[in-house]
Chains A and B, each alone.
Chain A
Amino acid sequence: MSWVTVCWSMAAGVSLTLAAVHFLVWLRDRAAIANLLFAVSAVAAAAAAMLELVMMRAQAPAEFGAILRWMHVAAAVIMITIVWFIRHYLRTGRLWLAWLITGLRGLILVLNFSPIPNATFQEIHALREVLFLGETLSAPVGETNPWRVLIHLNVAMVLIYVLDAAVAAWKLGRGRQALVLGASILTAFVMAAVFSGLMVRGILPSPLVALVFLIIVLAMALELSVDLIRAKQLSRDLRESEERMRLAARAADLGFWDWDVRRDQVWIDDVGRERTGVLEPGLTSHERYLSLVHADDRDWVRQALEEAIEHDKAFEAEFRMISPQGGERWIAASGQVERDAQGEPLRLRGISMDITARRQFERELQKHRLALGHTQRVFAVGQLSAALAHELNQPLGAILRNAEAGELFLRQDPPDLGELREIFVDIQRDDQRAAAVIDRMRALLRYKELRLEVIGLQELIEQVATLLSSEIQARGAALRITVSPKLPDVRGDRIHLQQVLVNLLLNGLDALDARQNGARQIEISAAHVEGGLVEVAVKDTGVGIDPDRLVDLFEPFVTTKSEGTGIGLAISKAIVEAHGGHIRAENNPGSGACIRFTLPVACPEEAA
């Protein structure tokens, strides 16, 4: 049995097996370039081993030289792949040096295939027999190639490159990889240089590349398999962290969703599906998902998604979803766009949460707040009207008593005319007393102290719209604001004018509520009218005003609403008139009513 045959075949076999394993790894994961490079170098190592085995048994110098020439090809492949392996695996090593080594090795190969037998020998005169591992093998005898110095240079460059890369990796905290790869490659190359020198001197039958390269291949394989083991560990960790995440998400009632923009596939996890209560298992499309969103919310949800993708904004929305069973659920969703290297959107990934309960709670709260506000208003007006009634009933009672007495006096025969005259005097005075009470009450409502300032109506209207936005939304109404361009400013008391607009808006909302169906719109418009005035109109699509009530609508305590206090419009009128304006009401041609009031512009000359 030949030990040489066994050892060299085994080296080739091991190299080929490892090459196959890592080639398969690369096939599964095309990003694993290091594995591919390793597979190529291991195949080259196997080829070198087999060539060497044949070479050592060559019978003629020419045969030896030809095989050595091909061995140089295998060596070049190994050399170059090692350089790039280190670059990919350790992610260190100087790029220019790597290219220089690659180029130089290419040059050596060109020389290798020029008429000279190979890059090592200029001429092999003869073969002489040497004893190696109990076997008689051929060793070359001849002139070395002067270009052989290039090979030495190349090896030296590789050594420098590897050393530099290993040191850099060490500094980056990858000490083990640097040590294993650096030490094995350096050892192997030193050995190769020694063996090559011995071969050139005819002492060894070959540079024993099979052994040298096996060291490197094993070292690289060891490193890569450590990686494989670590990958497995990582995947286990990942699974665990995923499980933890899922538990946390379930506890927080968070659902995950993922919209693959390119393939238009929406994936939603179990929690998300359960909470939205609406989606069939598996993947669905973007449009299918949107079709389950409440019709009123659909357009703006679609818009928000498009904006998130176009402008790279975070997607955040609270909307209603309709389940096929007919229920309605409030969902809060947020997400982030992921893009590829070119900046094209790949997917929108995010979380969703069922906030139906929170929304309901908020609605209840809002309702209570409104009810409270109304109660306070009613209470205040109730106190006012009680005081008014008491004040008025004094003179009214006196008038009544006098009139009753007068009637009785008239029945006497003869009537006591003196008494009757006194009665009439008293009645007149009591009547004036009653009128004075009413005047006093009106004075209370008249707002004589105004803090006048120059006010832009656009701003004023928008402030009021903001103030009432939640109420408008809660009542399902839409508010439109139309202020004509270049509208002059008015002079007025901001707070009181806001009060007027709030009163009119609330009245409008009440009018919408009183109407069962139809459009729910309120429009506030402001325009310049004749006489240095600005007219503001609050127009609703509600029930409108009973034509009989249009006349006394602005009188105190006149109300058309079952729960009304009848003071809102009276106060509004008092405020507008204190500003030097007028207020009037009319019914729209179609539906609803319109309250218009005028205010004088701040600088009449400028406006004219």
Chain B
Amino acid sequence: MSDPVQTVFVVDDDEFFLRGIQRLLRSSGYVSECFSSAGDFLARCPREATGCVLADLQMPQMDGLALQAALAQSANPLPVVFLTGQGDIPSSVAAMRGGAEDFLVKTAPKEAVIAAIERALARDQLERRARMRRLELERSCERLTPREREVLHHVLKGLRNKQIAHAMNIDERSVKRHRTNLMKKLGVGSVAELIQIAVEAGLTQPE
């Protein structure tokens, strides 16, 4: 599976800092895009964008924490690294609680900034993959018939064919047929594989 190019989205109201960081990112081999306000970023950022956000904490109108909250609500929750002029404890705690990848002062050394970006990009990839799988699985699940879905539910609970037949009040051969069909539709070859994707897709919780 080949990923699209990851972009570092920098959001800062300080024009000169934007220029500096963009140069650094470029010379370090990153693709970056700059926005001078959170509103601008939310409006112009492509929906399918991959990568991470490097945001200032204090900005006029919408500040870093509000941007983070808005991103978390969106369909494409990119990881956020905060860069701030002067960090205080309450806002750093709020940022980390909100799921920020890191919280750095603007004068932090390049290595710290790059490392935080790397972690954020890796996390984006991981989370994105999980999201994709969940999406695929959801789509596959949609193709299952109601009977097949019911059988799947019992299989995930660990019931054997006989028990499933008894619970559903059908004969055991019908159960086996449903199982074969649903595994084919979901593209898995074994029960172990089925349980693994079910865990990934978050299907194992009891209804």
Binding site for B on A (CB under 8 A): 386, 389-402, 404-406, 408-409, 412, 419, 423, 426, 429-430, 433
The interface residues of chain B lying within 8 Å CB-to-CB of A408 are 24, 27-28
Q: Mark B63-82, 1 if CB is under 8 A from A, else 0.
A: 00000000000000000000
Minimum CB–CB distance for A467 against chain B, Å: 35
Q: Which of B41-49, B83-91, B94-102, B165-173 contacts A (4 or more CB under 8 A)?
A: B83-91
Determine if A405 and B23 form an interchain contact, defined as CB atoms under 8 angstroms apart.
yes
The interface residues of chain A lying within 8 Å CB-to-CB of B110 are 400-401, 404
Find the A residue at minimum CB distance from B110: A404
5 smallest CB-CB distances across A and B, nearest first, come from A397-B106, A401-B20, A408-B27, A405-B23, A390-B86
Determine if B26 and A405 form an interchain contact, defined as CB atoms under 8 angstroms apart.
yes
Q: Which of B14, B21, B86, B105 contacts A386 (CB 8 A)?
A: B86
Q: How far apart are the CA atoms of A554 and B19 in the complex, in Å?
A: 37
The interface residues of chain A lying within 8 Å CB-to-CB of B86 are 386, 389-390, 393
Q: Which of B21, B58, B88, B105 contacts A401 (CB 8 A)?
A: B21
Q: Mark B92-128, 1 if CB is under 8 A from A, else 0.
A: 0000000000000111011000000000000000000
Determine if A397 and B27 form an interchain contact, defined as CB atoms under 8 angstroms apart.
no
Of residues B19, B85, B105, which shows the largest number of chain A Cβ atoms within 10 Å of its Cβ? Answer: B85
Q: How far apart are the CA atoms of A150 and B88 in the complex, in Å?
A: 119
The interface residues of chain A lying within 8 Å CB-to-CB of B85 are 389-394, 397
The interface residues of chain B lying within 8 Å CB-to-CB of A394 are 14, 16-17, 85, 106
Say yes or no: A393-B107 contact (C-beta < 8 A), given A386-B86, A398-B14, A405-B26: yes
Find the B residue at minimum CB distance from A420: B23
Of residues B20, B24, B88, which shows the largest number of chain A Cβ atoms within 10 Å of its Cβ? Answer: B20
Q: Which of A393, A395, A409, A412 contacts B105 (CB 8 A)?
A: A393
Determine if A397 and B58 form an interchain contact, defined as CB atoms under 8 angstroms apart.
no
Q: How far apart are the CA atoms of A508 and B21 in the complex, in Å?
A: 48
Determine if B106 and A393 form an interchain contact, defined as CB atoms under 8 angstroms apart.
yes
Determine if B107 and A402 form an interchain contact, defined as CB atoms under 8 angstroms apart.
no
Determine if A398 and B17 form an interchain contact, defined as CB atoms under 8 angstroms apart.
yes
Q: How far apart are the CA atoms of A328 and B17 in the complex, in Å?
A: 65
20 A-B pairs in the complex with CB atoms less than 8 angstroms apart: A386-B88, A389-B85, A389-B86, A390-B86, A393-B86, A394-B17, A394-B85, A394-B106, A396-B107, A397-B107, A398-B16, A400-B107, A401-B17, A401-B20, A401-B23, A401-B110, A405-B20, A409-B27, A419-B23, A426-B19
Say yes or no: A397-B23 contact (C-beta < 8 A), given A391-B85, A404-B110: no
The interface residues of chain B lying within 8 Å CB-to-CB of A395 are 16
- CB-based A-B contact count at 8 angstroms: 77
Binding site for A on B (CB under 8 A): 14, 16-17, 19-21, 23-24, 26-28, 58, 83-86, 88, 105-107, 109-110
The interface residues of chain A lying within 8 Å CB-to-CB of B107 are 393, 396-397, 400
Determine if A423 and B106 form an interchain contact, defined as CB atoms under 8 angstroms apart.
no
The interface residues of chain B lying within 8 Å CB-to-CB of A393 are 84-86, 105-107
The interface residues of chain A lying within 8 Å CB-to-CB of B27 are 405, 408-409, 412
Known: A390-B85, A402-B23, A423-B23. 18 other contacts (CB 8 A): A390-B86, A391-B85, A393-B84, A393-B86, A393-B105, A393-B107, A395-B16, A397-B20, A397-B106, A397-B107, A398-B19, A400-B20, A400-B106, A405-B20, A405-B26, A429-B16, A430-B16, A430-B20
The interface residues of chain A lying within 8 Å CB-to-CB of B21 are 398, 401
Minimum CB–CB distance for A426 against chain B, Å: 6
The interface residues of chain A lying within 8 Å CB-to-CB of B105 are 393, 397
Q: How far apart are the CA atoms of A393 and B85 in the complex, in Å?
A: 5
Of residues B21, B24, B84, which shows the largest number of chain A Cβ atoms within 10 Å of its Cβ? Answer: B24
Find the B residue at minimum CB distance from A401: B20
The interface residues of chain B lying within 8 Å CB-to-CB of A398 are 14, 16-17, 19-21, 106
Minimum CB–CB distance for A340 against chain B, Å: 77
Minimum CB–CB distance for A395 against chain B, Å: 7
Find the A residue at minimum CB distance from B25: A405
The interface residues of chain B lying within 8 Å CB-to-CB of A429 are 16
Find the B residue at minimum CB distance from A395: B16
The interface residues of chain A lying within 8 Å CB-to-CB of B83 are 397
The interface residues of chain B lying within 8 Å CB-to-CB of A412 are 27
Minimum CB–CB distance for A71 against chain B, Å: 118
Q: How far apart are the CA atoms of A396 and B28 in the complex, in Å?
A: 20
Of residues A392, A394, A395, A433, which shows the largest number of chain B Cβ atoms within 10 Å of its Cβ? Answer: A394
Q: How far apart are the CA atoms of A533 and B66 in the complex, in Å?
A: 58
The interface residues of chain A lying within 8 Å CB-to-CB of B26 are 405
Q: How far apart are the CA atoms of A402 and B105 in the complex, in Å?
A: 16
Of residues A394, A400, A401, A404, which shows the largest number of chain B Cβ atoms within 10 Å of its Cβ? Answer: A401
Minimum CB–CB distance for A227 against chain B, Å: 89
The interface residues of chain B lying within 8 Å CB-to-CB of A419 are 23
Q: How far apart are the CA atoms of A412 and B107 in the complex, in Å?
A: 24
Determine if B24 and A401 form an interchain contact, defined as CB atoms under 8 angstroms apart.
yes
Determine if B20 and A426 form an interchain contact, defined as CB atoms under 8 angstroms apart.
yes
Q: How far apart are the CA atoms of A394 and B13 in the complex, in Å?
A: 10
Minimum CB–CB distance for B85 against chain A, Å: 4
Q: How far apart are the CA atoms of A392 and B58 in the complex, in Å?
A: 14
Find the B residue at minimum CB distance from A412: B27
Q: How far apart are the CA atoms of A577 and B107 in the complex, in Å?
A: 34
Minimum CB–CB distance for B151 against chain A, Å: 58
Of residues B14, B21, B86, B109, which shows the largest number of chain A Cβ atoms within 10 Å of its Cβ? Answer: B86
Q: Which of B16, B17, B24, B58 contacts A404 (CB 8 A)?
A: B24
Determine if B58 and A390 form an interchain contact, defined as CB atoms under 8 angstroms apart.
yes
Of residues A395, A397, A409, A423, which shows the largest number of chain B Cβ atoms within 10 Å of its Cβ? Answer: A397
Find the A residue at minimum CB distance from B18: A398
Find the B residue at minimum CB distance from A402: B20
The interface residues of chain B lying within 8 Å CB-to-CB of A390 are 58, 85-86
The interface residues of chain A lying within 8 Å CB-to-CB of B106 are 393-394, 396-398, 400
Q: How far apart are the CA atoms of A395 and B20 in the complex, in Å?
A: 10
Minimum CB–CB distance for A418 against chain B, Å: 12
Minimum CB–CB distance for A62 against chain B, Å: 132
Find the B residue at minimum CB distance from A386: B86
Determine if B88 and A399 form an interchain contact, defined as CB atoms under 8 angstroms apart.
no
Minimum CB–CB distance for B115 against chain A, Å: 13
The interface residues of chain A lying within 8 Å CB-to-CB of B16 are 394-395, 398, 426, 429-430, 433
